[in-house]
Structure 1
Amino acid sequence: MVTVVLVTGVSRGIGSAIVDLIFKYEADAVVLGVARSESALQDLKTRFGKKFEYLAADVTDSQRTKRFVEEMVAKHGSLDGIIANAGVLDPVQDVNGLNSEDWKRLFDVNFFSVVSLVSTTIPFLKKSHLGNIVFVSSGASVKPYYAWGAYGSSKAALNHFAQTINAEEPAVNVISVAPGVVDTSMQDDIRNTFGPRSMTPEALKRFADLKAHGQLLKPQVPAAVYALLVLKGIPHQLKGKYVRYNDDALKDYQISP
């Protein structure tokens, strides 16, 4: 039976690595990718052919996402798992310069698009022999990072949503996993744009030092955890929980940094 997985934010970074690794671990899988960049999606389509289907759209476009999911389930016969990876960091602003409209826009991407995606996919996931839901969270969901209030709050909401799904629907499996500090374009933005503009020198220094000392993770490291969770299943003791990618309970899902 072919495993069908939907992944958001697949155009670069962790999302792109997740697609690569799903096919590495299960060559016959079908991946449904969602991202805004059609050129990046076409590149993935060229590499993986009919095993990769895509929607070029913003994840907040719930109607287009719903139609895409329904069309793909009709075509492939099932939907077995989702990985909600798409997310944004901006606005980066401290409490003395808050703009609630900026926060709302971030929450639309980081949280409400995921609520909508779960609403659309859960009827299909309940019918699957797998039914796995994997959220890409953040360490910022459980501790404050200077000027990251919007981002951290949205990821904390995602963690709680995982608890809610676990408590209310036993026919699916869900987990929220932080990826660590990964060498992606978001880190570039932190060091070169958001940090100098909105963060204190002390808060920015941590991220600059990680890059300077070669301590940022390759995207494939957390991506392997996400890919294997959606393919192999979520450990019973971690259902509904928030954990880091390198948690000891996930050792069977990890690759070396």
Structure 2
Amino acid sequence: MDTSKFFDLKGKTAIVTGGANGIGKACCEILAAYGANVVVSDYNLDEARKTSKGINENGGKSIAVDCDVTSDEALVNLVSETVKEFGSIEILVNNVGGGGAGKESPYDITIDQFKKVFDMNVFSMWRLCQLVAPEMKKAGYGSIINMSSMASVNTSPAISAYASSKAAINHMTKNLAYDFGPDNIRLNAIGPGATRTRALSTVLTPEIEEAMLRHTPIRRLGEAIDIAGAVLYFASPISSWTSGQVIFINGGGEQTLDM
């Protein structure tokens, strides 16, 4: 058995949305480490450039592209700039997401706020899938990884917009896998559990963390690299017969803010 190509991403190009920090940054770095050209896409261009610069200084190939995923013009430009720079697109990590964290009381949230969550979390992912699919078909290789959440299957208070948007991502991923599969394009989703990111740090207290760990067999919270490892699997040839799946990376347990 020749295992040398299982995780070989040389000659492949990956777009990572929200790639400047946190889970997105870890995804950019691990894909670059295994040979992919990486487009660090983020609405914070300065931070994206820092991440891209770090990849290049470590021997990788990367560019940064300014992108607000709720702007269709920005999404079209992201794909165009990627092809212009690297000539192809083989991997898409739809990492951008927003909302949640107990801030969505149905007594307070407006319909516009609810819609904004879906614009960012669902509609932008669907549109980018549509935009990159022709490029992946031309390349003869395609892997799209959509970032879901444990919130897609858990129940918690004041999180209905975020949670339902993430549940929509799960089902969208499974259905698009049927649409794009004949063109050798795979779609999978990853549902992180509680992962140490800047966003989690704004709501995490020692008491909440202790409660979360009581429900987590591997008794620690996740790190960004834990999620990036699953992204690497789905992006790589090792998973060439894996599509339409949702995998939860959560230490074997369940973590919610109201524990």
TM above 0.5, yes or no, is: yes
Aligned residues: 234
Instruction: Choose from 228, 234, 244 the match for 1:229.
Output: 234
For 1:180, the equivalent position in structure 2 comes to: 193
Q: For residue 246 of structure 1, report the CA deviation from its aligned partner.
A: 6.3
Aligned residue for 1:133, secondary structure, equals strand
- Partners of 2:238 and 2:171 lie apart in 1 by 20
Q: 2:104 corresponds to which letter in structure 1?
A: Q
Mapped pair 1:80 → 2:85? no
Mapped pair 1:154 → 2:165? yes
Aligned residue for 2:15, secondary structure, equals strand
Q: For residue 245 of structure 1, report the CA deviation from its aligned partner.
A: 2.8
Normalising by structure 2, report the TM-score.
Answer: 0.81
Q: 2:231 corresponds to which letter in structure 1?
A: Y
For 1:12, the equivalent position in structure 2 comes to: 21
Aligned residue for 2:64, secondary structure, equals strand
Unaligned runs of 5+ in 1: 193-203, 249-257
Mapped pair 1:24 → 2:33? yes
Deviations 1:103-148 (A, max 9, x none): 1111111111111111111111122232001011111111212211
Aligned residue for 1:190, secondary structure, equals coil
For 2:65, the equivalent position in structure 1 comes to: 55
- Distance change in 2, residues 1:37/1:47 (3 Å): same
Normalising by structure 1, report the TM-score.
Answer: 0.82
Give the number of the structure whose residues are more often helix, by fraction: 1
Deviations 1:174-205 (A, max 9, x none): 0011122100112123337xxxxxxxxxxx95
For 1:241, the equivalent position in structure 2 comes to: 245
- Partners of 1:164 and 1:99 lie apart in 2 by 29
Q: For residue 93 of structure 1, report the CA deviation from its aligned partner.
A: 2.0
Task: Give the % identical residues.
Answer: 24
- Partners of 1:208 and 1:100 lie apart in 2 by 35
Q: 1:96 corresponds to which letter in structure 2?
A: Y
Mapped pair 1:97 → 2:102? no
Aligned residue for 2:139, secondary structure, equals coil
Mapped pair 1:37 → 2:22? no
> For the Cα contact (< 8 Å) 1:92–1:149, is it kept in 2?
no
Q: 2:230 corresponds to which letter in structure 1?
A: V
- Partners of 1:245 and 1:227 lie apart in 2 by 13
Q: For residue 210 of structure 1, report the CA deviation from its aligned partner.
A: 4.1
Deviations 1:199-254 (A, max 9, x none): xxxxx954464489972111111111112311335353x41122213699xxxxxx
Q: For residue 80 of structure 1, report the CA deviation from its aligned partner.
A: 0.4
Aligned residue for 1:101, secondary structure, equals helix
For 1:196, the equivalent position in structure 2 comes to: none
- Partners of 2:67 and 2:87 lie apart in 1 by 23
> For the Cα contact (< 8 Å) 2:98–2:120, is it kept in 1?
yes
- Partners of 1:76 and 1:92 lie apart in 2 by 40
Aligned residue for 1:95, secondary structure, equals coil
Q: 1:142 corresponds to which letter in structure 2?
A: V
- Partners of 1:138 and 1:185 lie apart in 2 by 16
Unaligned runs of 5+ in 2: 1-9, 253-259
> For the Cα contact (< 8 Å) 2:49–2:63, is it kept in 1?
no
Q: 2:71 corresponds to which letter in structure 1?
A: D
Instruction: Choose from 213, 218, 221 the match for 2:223.
Output: 218
Q: 1:44 corresponds to which letter in structure 2?
A: T
- Partners of 1:141 and 1:107 lie apart in 2 by 13
For 1:115, the equivalent position in structure 2 comes to: 126
